[in-house]
């Protein structure tokens, strides 16, 4: 397979005049697709499955393009279109290219491997620029931007898999006007204030880009993404959607594919999608990717003590997590606008100004989950989810540092 799929998704698509239905990939098909290389090295299996959809616009100026997009080619050819999707050299950009397959396929093993020009995506030198999919070099080594490989190793560890880690990821993003770095729907340079009516607001003067948010929501549902909700955010033109709860590596797979779908929708709408953690400087909220996390032990009776022990470990590795939680995050984590300072670790019950928030209901029930509010909107979900699992389930602090952190956080662990 040709990656660089992050996940290594290859989507089979048929374009129909009457409908946009496509046969879903089965769980078995998806697992072998994204883990074809990893399975040889003890990778974890994924239960992810996605369907493909065709985008349609109501813009009358491109009706003729829509007619072409909706042409029914099945009477004339058995060819299908396979879309290869991967993560680019920046670690946050999503790339894709399509190829014709001569006949319908029953299993991903029937799809050909494919390479691409890694020198044009910032992933290989020009003199040796071919990179083979799931983000491997021709020699079979994972390239630096293939964060899924390491994540698969962590999630396949028995100590991790036995705890059935759940993740719920809140992906914030900002819609900007083309050609200018300014929120969608607002006069360039005008400053409406950070709060205003925009958070979960409704109305022409309060909501900008709802059509894009709604289109993305429905497209993700159709495609099989485990999207669980969406809402308008604090800054004008800023939105959020949630993925999960998903088990293990599935959460990151779904976030990456949902980002790809969002890129395609904003591309067609002529709107700029930004995952910058602070897209507009000043007294505005930034954009994060809050990550909710729990293990089997946290969800069972007595789980609150397990959660506090996990928080202790997270406090001791604060710098390691911050360094992996997204580029430009220091512009967002200032201690203002519902964030904690990037320089210090804190936790609290129902406190959105902390590094780690524990819900009031979790405290009351004595079990549940924790919310890591530090990840930026441009974080790599493979890195964040696997690092949370590693720190809380595999990493063992020294007795000295553990005692020091316990005193500092006043935790009874």
Query: Based on the domain organization, do 133 and 273 belong to the same domain?
Result: no
Query: Based on the domain organization, do 252 and 380 belong to the same domain?
Result: yes
Query: Based on the domain organization, do 85 and 130 belong to the same domain?
Result: yes
Question: Taking Cα atoms as reference points, which of 263, 374, 381, 30 lies closest to residue 38?
Answer: 30
Mean pLDDT of 304-322: 96
Q: Give residue-wise pLDDT tens across range 336-389.
A: 988 999 999 999 999 999 999 999 999 999 999 999 999 999 999 999 999 999
Mean pLDDT of 254-264: 94
Most confident of 74-78, 81-85, 182-186, 257-261: 257-261
* Residue 222 domain flag: yes
Q: Enter the tokens of residue 265.
A: 């929708």
What phi and psi values does residue 114 have, to the nearest 5 degrees? Answer: -145, 140
Query: Based on the domain organization, do 246 and 378 belong to the same domain?
Result: yes
Query: Based on the domain organization, do 184 and 320 belong to the same domain?
Result: yes
What is the rounded CA–CA span in Å between residue 323 and residue 121?
Answer: 23
In terms of Cβ atoms closer than 10 Å to its own Cβ (0-12, 13-18, 19+), residue 115 is middle
Query: Based on the domain organization, do 140 and 168 belong to the same domain?
Result: no
Contacts of 402 (CB under 8 A, 6+ apart): 312, 316
Q: How many CB atoms lie within 10 A of CB 349?
A: 13
pTM above 0.85, yes or no: no
**What spatial distance separates the first Cα and last Cα of the chain, rounded to whole Å?**
47
* Residue 2 domain flag: no
What is the rounded CA–CA span in Å between residue 177 and residue 273?
Answer: 9
Query: Which of 73-87, 123-137, 385-399 is predicted with the least confidence, judged by mean pLDDT?
Result: 123-137
Query: Based on the domain organization, do 366 and 390 belong to the same domain?
Result: yes
Give 88's DSSP letter: -
How many alpha carbons lie under 13 Å from residue 167 in its C-beta half-sphere?
28
Give 90's DSSP letter: T
- Residue 108's domain comprises 10-144
Number of domains in the chain: 2
Inform me whether the pLDDT recorded for 219 exceeds 80: yes
Question: Taking Cα atoms as reference points, which of 31, 29, 8 lies closest to residue 87?
Answer: 8
Inform me whether the pLDDT recorded for 58 exceeds 60: no
* Residue 285 domain flag: yes
Query: Based on the domain organization, do 31 and 102 belong to the same domain?
Result: yes
pLDDT band for position 210 (cuts 50, 70, 90)? very high
Q: What is the pLDDT of residue 117?
A: 79
Q: What is the CATH number for 46?
A: 3.10.20.70
Q: What is the pLDDT of residue 44?
A: 55
Contact 353, 338 (CB under 8 A): yes
Decide which of 110, 144, 178 is a domain's last residue.
144
* Residue 304 domain flag: yes
Q: What is the CATH number for 335?
A: 3.30.590.10
Is the N-terminal amide bond of 321 cis, ω within 30° of 0?
Answer: no
Give the pairing of strands 347-349 and 356-358: parallel
């Amino acid at each position: 397979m040709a990656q660089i799929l992050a996940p290594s998704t290859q989507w089979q698509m048929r374009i129909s005049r009457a409908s946009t239905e496509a046969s879903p990939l089965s769980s078995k098909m998806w697992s072998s697709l994204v883990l074809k290389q990893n399975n040889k090295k003890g990778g974890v299996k994924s239960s992810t499955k996605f369907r493909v959809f065709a985008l349609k616009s109501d813009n009358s100026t491109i009706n003729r393009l829509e007619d072409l997009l909706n042409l029914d080619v099945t009477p004339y050819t058995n060819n299908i279109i396979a879309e290869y999707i991967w993560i680019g050299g920046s670690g946050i950009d999503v790339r894709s290219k399509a190829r014709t397959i001569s006949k319908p396929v029953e299993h991903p093993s029937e799809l050909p491997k494919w390479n691409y020009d890694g020198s044009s995506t910032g992933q290989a030198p020009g003199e040796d620029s071919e990179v083979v999919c799931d983000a491997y070099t021709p020699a079979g080594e994972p390239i630096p931007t293939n964060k899924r490989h390491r994540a698969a190793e962590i999630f396949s560890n028995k100590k991790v898999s036995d705890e059935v880690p759940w993740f719920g990821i809140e992906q914030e993003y900002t819609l900007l006007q083309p050609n200018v770095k300014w929120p969608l729907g607002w006069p360039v340079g005008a400053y409406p204030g950070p709060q205003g009516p925009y958070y979960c607001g409704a109305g022409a003067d309060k909501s900008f880009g709802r059509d894009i948010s709604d289109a993305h929501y429905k497209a993700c549902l159709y495609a099989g993404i485990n999207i669980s909700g969406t809402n308008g955010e604090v800054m004008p033109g800023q939105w959020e959607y949630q993925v999960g709860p998903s088990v293990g590596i599935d959460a990151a797979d779904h976030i990456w594919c949902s980002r790809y779908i969002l890129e395609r929708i904003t591309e067609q709408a002529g709107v700029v999608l930004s995952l910058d953690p602070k897209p507009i400087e000043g007294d505005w909220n930034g954009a994060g990717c809050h990550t909710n996390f729990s293990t089997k032990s946290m969800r069972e009776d007595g789980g609150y003590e397990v959660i506090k022990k996990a928080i202790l470990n997270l406090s001791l590795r604060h710098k390691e997590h911050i360094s992996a939680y997204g580029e430009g995050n220091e512009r967002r984590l200032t201690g203002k606008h519902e964030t904690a300072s990037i320089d210090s670790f804190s936790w609290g019950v129902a406190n959105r100004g902390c590094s780690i928030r524990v819900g009031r209901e979790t405290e009351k029930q004595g079990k549940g989950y924790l919310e890591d509010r530090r990840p930026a909107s441009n974080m790599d979900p493979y890195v964040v989810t696997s690092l949370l699992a590693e720190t809380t389930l595999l990493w063992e602090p020294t007795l000295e540092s553990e005692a020091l952190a316990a005193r500092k956080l006043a935790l009874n662990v």
